[in-house]
């Protein structure tokens, strides 16, 4: 399973990139709004200098024609750009039209297996089921990941399942075990995945023993 970083902060992306475990980035207008006036294009190009992988940039138009035009513009910024399009009637048409033009689409706001199936059949490159938001309304978000993976793999569809809206390290583990091809995580999850108190205690004991042995 690959890890993408869910942020528009170039500082957070640079900090995470040094570990060599981030394969792509997902962004959206809400994340960009936190960045203090930087243009979307400028930030996407900055990200492309740091991460050589898919960069999701979200469309905000609401008709199929407008979505396709916006997708063309976003995709023209850099070869690594993947356009994010929400799944609804206009979105499904736009996904089909964009995919026929060779524009890669990340279908976002997926909450049912049927939505995922339709997006995959329309030509989406990535399917983004939102785990945490389903959990918030007492639904099993991770079960949706398992269903989407099963549909894609059973029928040999080309779309990749991207587990989104992950809230804590256990979500990442469960997404990996569920067969998700990608998990997109907020930067705060990376240190949480890395740290464990027993690891810290073990390092301190090794250092103490090394000092006693005169190695330090």
All domains in the chain, ordered by first residue: 2-188 (3.20.20.70)
* Tens-digit pLDDT string for the chain (216 aa): 999 999 999 999 999 999 999 999 999 989 999 998 899 999 999 999 999 999 999 999 999 999 999 999 999 999 999 999 999 999 999 999 999 999 999 999 999 999 999 999 999 999 999 999 999 999 999 999 999 999 999 999 999 999 999 999 999 999 999 999 999 999 999 999 999 999 999 999 999 999 999 998
Task: Say whether 84 is catalytic.
Answer: yes
Q: Please tell me the distance from the alpha carbon of residue 183 to that of residue 200, in angstroms, as a whole number.
A: 26
Is 16 in contact with 190 (CB distance < 8 Å)?
yes
Catalytic residue among 18, 34, 41, 84: 84
């Amino acid at each position: 399973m690959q890890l993408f970083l869910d942020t528009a902060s170039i500082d957070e992306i640079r900090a995470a990139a040094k570990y060599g475990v981030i394969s792509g980035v997902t962004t959206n207008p809400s994340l960009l709004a936190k960045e203090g006036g930087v243009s979307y294009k400028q930030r996407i190009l900055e990200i492309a200098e740091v991460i050589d992988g898919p960069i999701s940039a979200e469309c905000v138009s609401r008709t199929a024609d407008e979505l396709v035009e916006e997708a063309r513009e976003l995709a023209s910024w850099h070869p690594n750009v993947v356009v994010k399009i929400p799944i609804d009637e206009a979105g499904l048409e736009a996904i089909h039209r964009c995919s026929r033009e060779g524009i890669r689409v990340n279908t976002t706001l997926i909450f049912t297996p049927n939505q995922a199936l339709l997006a995959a059949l329309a030509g989406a490159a990535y399917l983004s089921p939102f785990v945490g938001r389903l959990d918030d309304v007492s639904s099993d978000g991770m079960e949706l990941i398992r269903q989407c993976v099963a549909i894609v793999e059973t029928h040999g569809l080309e779309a990749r399942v991207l587990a989104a809206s992950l809230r804590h390290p256990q979500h990442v583990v469960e997404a990996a075990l569920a067969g998700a091809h990608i998990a997109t995580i907020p930067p705060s999850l990376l240190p949480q995945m890395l740290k464990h108190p027993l690891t810290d205690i073990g390092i301190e004991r090794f250092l103490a023993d090394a000092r006693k042995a005169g190695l330090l």
